[in-house]
């Protein structure tokens, strides 16, 4: 028999098992949503618990697991306040309105929001369930609940009495849900703050973990598409006969996004797709090239007029003026699992198997595509082989849905690596025109014009003329430095390629711009780069704290072996603060060698320190790969990079030693999936300047700049 505690105290009799759902109005209030007693107008934001007769607790996690550890962190938050026995806790993925992300107001995973968004809702859910179990035991034993305590999934009473949660769950489910259960004092935590083993490790190592690309259904066809090289491109002619001549190919379907070949297996579909050898009409964008992109962004940066931050006046500030231009390219996400989705359309209903960061939006978008309602779209969540923002998109699911509708059978659409690399979901290319005025040893003025395409517009947000896309300016407009005169503005330019969320979003490029230029200004002021930053952080003690810790642990100022130098950077994002010191040398061909990275993070209260360490390390690898190699370029309207031989990843022998230090904190949790990425590129390039006297102002780093 299995039991779930519920606000509505509703029972579902299923195969002899007692099943009761549980959500909390308090969780809605924690998310800033209105709530009314008895849940009449509350927004369901809590967890789901299942407590079985053998005392096992299953936590339903609505967040997508893409390697960041939510399948462990989410259950830890519930289990702590529930006072559950951790070895008996398991996790399941689920799609339900009750699992809405309190920050996004829909079910989705991104922006390093899982822990910081669910910190109070899930703890409240666990605490309420524990209180109900205690009340059930008190009623059975006819004693006051104040005489009882809990420990490892048991309610304990005087005289050695005890009752397991499993034995009490059915009675507890009939009790009213407490609206304001008492939460534990952090000093009493026995689960939170501990480096517990991840719950998904076994499945990911023994091969039982299910990713989207693993889905197999009876009668399923596999689709591979010849995708349009640019939005609006059209095939001049499609030779379906060549595709249909391939054994196993069943159908050719043309969609607005390309031409798909459906076959009994992947290899036949790919051979059929390749056999068509489509000649594309690229239209007016056929001449798109990277030089033109740069020219357009340069113009946008010079003319930037959407003001994101203004303080004092940057006109006629006395002192030494320093000017610099910075640039970053388009970047692909390069998830190890290429994009894929399986859809089975049956009438006005559809069932979907996908590894997605946004199951909630997927339901809405697919309902629109199939002209039905979201309730008739069933999403089966799969594990994600990397997300990084890419799996918030809808290209795979919408195309798979249309193909299934056309074929009348389940269809699994699979992107090749080349398809994914050229799919036009990129981190924006961006240019920044920087101007600072140094007066004596201090920074008197900062003026910046940034130009980029708009992620907000690409993802459906309205950004009018003269308005700022906050995603384009985050990491710059919210920099922490005390500077009396500032003017930071954005100039939107749209060269053509579609831009999208990328790990740390705007912070990834703006962290590079800001921390590189601050370093330049430190040298212009004849100040140590660390001390220069530290002197301007009087209003942001958390920035200052991580900066000081990183410098201390890295031995800032201590002698290094000949041919090595250090660089430093500090950036905050998603409620967390990260400072990094990179220790760098040069190889004989002029390419950088990063030997050591010291990272200090302040992410508020920590759920699982080991997960924090791993996320910081992974974010550094991701950002370092981009700094050394990442670049998507265009020539004659087409992407020039097709696979990892042209879009390299950091290799094992290139991996630096990474040390992560966590600042103890009682602040609310911040995110950790992304904050380690923004500081790494400026830390490395600042170290290169300290080593060579040559400033890197565009990424990826060009070894020719340093070749002897």
Q: Which residue has the tokens 């109005």?
A: 25
pLDDT at 229: 86
CATH, range 290-330+426-705: 3.30.365.10
Torsions phi, psi for 225 (to 5 deg): -110, 145
Cα separation, 61 vs 48, whole angstroms: 8
List helix spans (H) across 39-93: 70-82
pLDDT at 331: 98
| Mean pLDDT on 399-425 | 96
pLDDT at 28: 29
Same fold, 212-282+339-414 and 290-330+426-705: yes
- pLDDT tens profile 588-614: 999 999 999 999 999 999 999 999 999
- Lowest pLDDT segment from 279-288, 512-521, 555-564, 655-664: 279-288
Domain ranges within the chain, ordered by starting residue: 2-206, 212-282+339-414, 290-330+426-705
Q: Could you give the percent of the chain with pLDDT greater than 90? A: 88
pLDDT at 604: 98
Cα separation, 114 vs 694, whole angstroms: 40
How far, CA to CA in Å, does 194 sit from each of 189, 219, 474? 9, 47, 32
Contact 21, 35 (CB under 8 A): no
Backbone torsion region of residue 705, taken as left when φ is above 0, otherwise alpha when ψ lies between -120 and 50, otherwise beta: alpha
pLDDT band at 659 (very low <50, low <70, confident <90, very high): very high
**Which of the listed CATH numbers 3.40.50.880, 3.30.70.20, 3.30.365.10, 3.30.750.24 matches domain 2-206?**
3.30.365.10
Instruction: Please give, one letter per residue, the 3-state secondary structure of 144-164.
Output: CHHHCEEECCEEECHHHCEEE
pLDDT tops 60 at residue 422: yes
- What is the torsional sign of CA 189, 94, 120, 674? positive
**3 state DSSP class of 690:** helix
Mean of the per-residue pLDDT values of the chain: 92
The structural architecture, per CATH, of the domain 212-282+339-414 is 2-Layer Sandwich (3.30)
pTM, whole model, 2 decimals?
0.92
Contact 552, 581 (CB under 8 A): no
Contact 43, 32 (CB under 8 A): no
Backbone torsion region of residue 274, taken as left when φ is above 0, otherwise alpha when ψ lies between -120 and 50, otherwise beta: alpha
pLDDT at 230: 82
| Mean pLDDT on 199-204 | 94
pLDDT band at 173 (very low <50, low <70, confident <90, very high): confident
pLDDT at 554: 98
Q: Which residue has the tokens 């010191």?
A: 581
pLDDT tops 70 at residue 46: no
- pLDDT tens profile 223-278: 999 999 887 889 988 999 999 999 999 999 999 999 999 999 999 999 999 999 89
Q: Token pair for residue 38? A: 């008895």
| Mean pLDDT on 108-130 | 95
| Mean pLDDT on 180-202 | 96
- pLDDT tens profile 342-389: 999 999 999 999 999 999 999 999 999 999 999 999 999 999 999 999
pLDDT at 49: 85
- On the 0-12 / 13-18 / 19+ scale of CB atoms within 10 A, 563 is exposed
| Mean pLDDT on 694-706 | 97
- Locate the DSSP E strands across 453-575: 485-492, 565-573
pLDDT at 35: 28
Crossing angle of helices 680-692 and 609-628, in 10° steps, is 50
């Amino acid at each position: 028999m299995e039991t779930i505690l519920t606000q509505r105290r509703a029972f579902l009799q299923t195969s002899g098992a007692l099943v009761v759902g549980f959500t909390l109005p308090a969780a809605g209030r924690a998310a800033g949503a209105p709530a009314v007693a008895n849940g009449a107008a509350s927004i369901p934001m809590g967890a789901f618990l299942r407590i079985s007769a053998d005392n096992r607790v299953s936590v339903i996690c609505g967040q997508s697991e893409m390697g960041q550890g939510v399948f462990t962190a989410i259950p830890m938050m519930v289990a702590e306040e529930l006072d559950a026995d951790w070895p008996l806790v398991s996790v399941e993925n689920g799609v339900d309105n009750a699992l809405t992300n309190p920050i996004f107001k829909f079910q989705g995973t991104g922006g390093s929001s899982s822990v910081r968004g669910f910190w109070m809702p899930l703890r409240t859910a666990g605490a309420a369930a524990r209180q109900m179990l205690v009340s059930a035991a008190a009623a059975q034993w006819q004693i006051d609940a104040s005489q009882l305590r809990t420990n490892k999934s048991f309610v304990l009473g005087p005289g050695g009495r005890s009752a397991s949660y499993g034995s009490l769950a059915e009675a507890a489910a009939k009790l009213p849900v407490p609206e304001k259960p008492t939460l534990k004092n952090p000093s009493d935590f026995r689960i939170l703050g501990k480096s517990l083993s991840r719950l998904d490790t076994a499945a990911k190592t023994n091969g039982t973990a299910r990713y989207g690309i693993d889905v197999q259904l009876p009668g399923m066809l596999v689709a591979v598409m010849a995708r349009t090289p640019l939005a609006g491109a059209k095939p001049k002619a499609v030779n379906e006969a060549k595709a249909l001549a391939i054994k196993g190919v069943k159908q050719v379907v043309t969609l607005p996004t390309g031409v798909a070949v459906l076959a009994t297996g992947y290899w036949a579909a790919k051979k059929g797709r390749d056999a068509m050898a489509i000649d594309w009409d690229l239209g007016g964008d056929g001449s798109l090239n990277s030089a033109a992109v740069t020219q357009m962004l340069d113009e946008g940066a010079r003319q930037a007029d959407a003001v994101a931050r203004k303080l004092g006046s940057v006109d006629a500030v006395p002192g030494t003026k320093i000017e610099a231009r910075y640039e970053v390219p388009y970047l692909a996400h390069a998830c190890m699992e290429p994009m894929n989705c399986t859809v089975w359309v049956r009438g006005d209903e559809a069932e979907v198997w996908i590894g997605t960061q946004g199951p909630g939006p997927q339901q809405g978008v697919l309902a629109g595509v199939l002209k039905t309602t979201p309730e008739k779209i069933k999403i089966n969540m799969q594990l994600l082989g990397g997300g990084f923002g890419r799996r918030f998109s809808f290209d795979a699911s919408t195309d798979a849905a249309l193909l299934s509708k056309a074929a009348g059978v389940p269809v699994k659409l699979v992107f090749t690596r080349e398809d994914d690399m050229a799919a036009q979901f990129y981190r924006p290319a961006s240019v920044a025109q920087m101007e600072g005025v140094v007066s004596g040893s201090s920074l008197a003025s900062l003026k910046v014009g940034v130009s980029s395409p708009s992620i907000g517009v690409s993802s459906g947000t309205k950004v009018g003329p003269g308005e700022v896309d906050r995603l384009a300016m985050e990491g710059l407009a919210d920099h922490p430095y005390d500077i009396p005169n500032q003017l930071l503005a954005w100039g939107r330019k749209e060269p053509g390629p579609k831009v999208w969320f990328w790990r740390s979003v705007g912070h990834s490029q703006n962290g590079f711009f800001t921390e590189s230029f601050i370093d330049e200004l430190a040298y212009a002021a004849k100040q140590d780069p660390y001390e220069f930053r530290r002197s301007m952080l009087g209003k942001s003690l958390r920035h200052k704290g991580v900066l000081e810790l990183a410098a201390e642990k890295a031995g800032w100022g201590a002698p290094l072996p000949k041919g090595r130098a250090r660089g430093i950077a500090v950036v905050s994002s998603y409620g967390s603060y990260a400072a990094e010191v990179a220790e760098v040398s040069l190889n004989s061909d002029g390419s950088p060698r990063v030997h050591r990275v010291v990272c200090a993070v302040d992410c508020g209260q920590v759920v699982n320190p080991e997960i924090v360490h791993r996320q910081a390390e992974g974010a550094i690898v991701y950002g370092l790969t981009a700094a050394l190699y990442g670049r998507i370029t265009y020539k004659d309207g087409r992407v020039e990079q097709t696979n990892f031989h042209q879009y390299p990843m950091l290799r094992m022998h290139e991996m630096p030693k990474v040390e992560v230090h966590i600042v103890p904190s009682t602040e609310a949790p911040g995110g950790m999936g992304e904050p380690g990425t923004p500081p790494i590129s400026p830390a490395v390039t600042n170290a290169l300047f300290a080593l060579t006297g040559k400033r890197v102002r565009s990424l990826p780093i060009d070894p020719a700049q340093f070749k002897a």
